[in-house]
Amino acid sequence: MLGTIWINTGMGLLAFVITLCTALASNVWLVSLERAGIALVIFFLAAFPIRFVLALVTQTPAQSAEAGGQEELNAPLADGGDEANPPGQTGEQAAAEAFSPLSFTKLETIHPSEDPATVAEVVRRLTDE
């Protein structure tokens, strides 16, 4: 689950303080304290499903697919080898040899020509259409 019990406590205490301050304006302090205590318990308990849903939403699909799809990756085909691999080579060995991550050492930026004649020509074309 996302976070710790301190998140629940913090949400509960925040609800307690806000409820106490707003309830004191129109109630006696004992009623205000009772309502603030109820708000603390409700928000403390409501933080559990909120944290659970946030953990499910923020979990990337690669993490869940990695655990279940590992067996499929290692399973050889019926003819003794993978489509791209020779019969003696496993899927992991081929994946390690074939995979190379992209590396962006320097992004190439194309600067538009700022020639006044070119800019005027572009403006003319755009206003004609």
Q: What was the pLDDT predicted at 55? A: 84
Q: How confident is the model at residue 120 (pLDDT cuts 50, 70, 90)?
A: confident
With respect to residue 125, please indicate whether it lies within any of the assigned structural domains: no
Question: pLDDT above 70 covers what percent of the chain?
Answer: 58
pLDDT computed for residue 67 by the predictor: 54
pLDDT for 37 beyond 60: yes
100-109 residue pLDDT tens:
776 666 665 5
**Is 94 inside a domain boundary?**
no
Instruction: Give the pLDDT band of residue 115 (cuts 50, 70, 90).
Output: confident
Number of folded domains that form the chain: 1
Question: Is residue 108 one of the residues assigned to a domain?
Answer: no
Q: How many CB atoms lie within 10 A of CB 15?
A: 20
Domain span including residue 35 = 5-57
In terms of average pLDDT, the best of 33-42, 53-62, 111-120 is 33-42
In a domain, 126, yes or no: no
Q: Does 37 reside within a domain? A: yes
Kindly report the length of the chain.
Answer: 129
User: CB of 1 within 8 A of CB of 52?
Assistant: yes
pLDDT of residue 5: 87
Model's pTM, two decimal places? 0.44
* Among the listed residues 101, 105, 12, the one whose alpha carbon sits nearest the alpha carbon of residue 50: 12
Convert the pLDDT of each residue in 63-92 to its tens digit.
555 555 555 555 555 555 445 555 665 656
Query: What is the DSSP secondary-structure string of the chain?
Result: --S-HHHHHHHHHHHHHHHHHHHHTTS-HHHHHHHHHHHHHHHHHHHHHHHHHHHHHHS-HHHHHHHHHHHHHHPPPTTSS-SSS-TT--HHHHHHHH------SS----PPP--HHHHHHHHHHHHH-
Is position 41 within any domain? yes
The answer as to whether 31 is a domain residue is yes
Report if residue 47 sits inside a domain: yes
- The pLDDT value recorded for residue 74 is 54
